[in-house]
Structure 1
Amino acid sequence: MSGGGPAGKVTIAGLAGRLGMSKASVSYALNGQPGVSEPTRARVLALAAELGWYPSSSARALSQSRSDAVGIVLARSPEEVGSESFYMNVLAGIEAVLSEHDMNLMLRMVTPSPARLDLDVYRRWAGERRVDGVIVFDSFSDDPRPPLLSGLRLPHVLVGAAGDAGPTPFGANTPVDQGADAATVVEAFHARGHRHIAYVSGPLGLTHEAARRAGIHSHASRLGMTAVFSASDYTADDGGKATTAVVAGLAPGSPDFPTAIAYGNDLMAMGGLRALKRLGISVPGQVSVLSWDDSILCQLSSPSVAALARNTMELGRRSAALLLETIAGHQSANVAMPAGVLHARESLREAVQAAP
Structure 2
Amino acid sequence: MARRPTIKDIARGAGVSESAVSFALNGRPGVSEDTRARVRRVAEELGWQPHHAARVLSGERCGAVGLVLARPAHTLGVESFFLQLVSGVQEVLSAGRTALLFQVVEDIDAECAVHRRWWAERRVDGVLVVDPRTRDPRPELLARLGLPAVLVGGTGEPVPADSPPPLSSVWADDARAMAGVLRHLHGLGHRRVTHIAGLPGLAHTARRITSLRAEARRLGLPEEHVRSVPTDYSDAEGAAATRRVLAEPDPPTALVYDNDVMAVAGSAVAAGLGIPVPGRLSIVAWDDSALCRVTHPRLTALVRDTAGFGRLAAEELLALLAGGPPRARESELPRLEPRESTAPPAAAY
SS in 2 for 1:82: coil
Aligned in 2, Cα 1:99/1:62: closer, same or farther, shift over 3 Å? farther
Residue deviations 1:90-125 (CA, integer Å, cap 9, x gap):
011111111111111111111237xx1221111111
**In 2, Cα distance between equivalents of 1:330 and 1:39:** 34
Instruction: Describe the superposition over 1:32-54 as per-residue Cα deviations: whole angstroms up to 9, x where unpaired.
Output: 345545454234324434x3443
Which amino acid in the other structure matches residue 106 of structure 2?
Answer: T
**Cα separation, 2, equivalents of 1:265 and 1:9:** 47
Selected match of 1:143 from 136, 139, 146: 136
Bigger shift: residues 194-203 or 240-249: 240-249
Cα distance change, pair 183–9 in 1 and its aligned pair in 2 (3 A)? closer
Does residue 180 of structure 2 align to residue 181 of structure 1? no
Deviates more, 1:317-326 or 1:165-174: 165-174
TM-score by length of 2: 0.90
Residue pairs, 1:230-241, within 5 angstroms: 230-241=229-240
Aligned partner (choices 288, 304, 308) of residue 298 of structure 2:
304
Pairwise CA distance, 1:19: 4.3
Is 1:158 matched up with 2:154?
Answer: no
Paired letter, 2:308: E
Q: Do the aligned partners of residues 132 and 7 (structure 1) sit closer, same or farther apart at CA in structure 2, a change above 3 Å counting?
A: closer
1:85 counterpart residue number:
80
Tell me, in whole angstroms, the C-alpha distance in 2 between the residues paired with 1:189 and 1:238.
24
2:71 is aligned with 1:72: no
Q: Could you report, residue by residue, the CA deviation over 1:212-235 in whole angstroms, capped at 9, with x for unpaired residues? A: 111112222222334121111100
Q: Which residue of 1 aligns with 2:100?
A: 105
Q: Which residue of 2 aligns with 1:172?
A: 168
Gaps of 5+ in 1: 1-5, 251-255
SS at match of 1:135: strand
| Aligned residue identity for 2:154 | A
Note if 1:199 corresponds to 2:220: no
RMSD: 2.3
Structure 2: runs of 5+ lacking an equivalent? none
Letter in 1 for 2:191: R
Q: Is the CA contact (8 Å cut-off) linking 2:153 and 2:172 kept in structure 1?
A: yes
Q: How many residues get paired? A: 342
Does the CA-based 8 Å contact 2:257-2:263 persist in structure 1? yes
Deviation larger for 292-301 or 159-168: 159-168
Q: Contact conserved, 2:73 with 2:106, CA < 8 A, in 1?
A: no
- CA distance in structure 2 between the aligned counterparts of 1:140 and 1:97, rounded to whole angstroms: 26
- Hey, what's the Cα distance between the residues in 2 that align with 1:9 and 1:268? 49
CA distance in 2: counterparts of 1:54 and 1:225, whole angstroms: 67
TM-score by length of 1: 0.88
State, as a whole percentage, how many aligned pairs show the same letter.
40
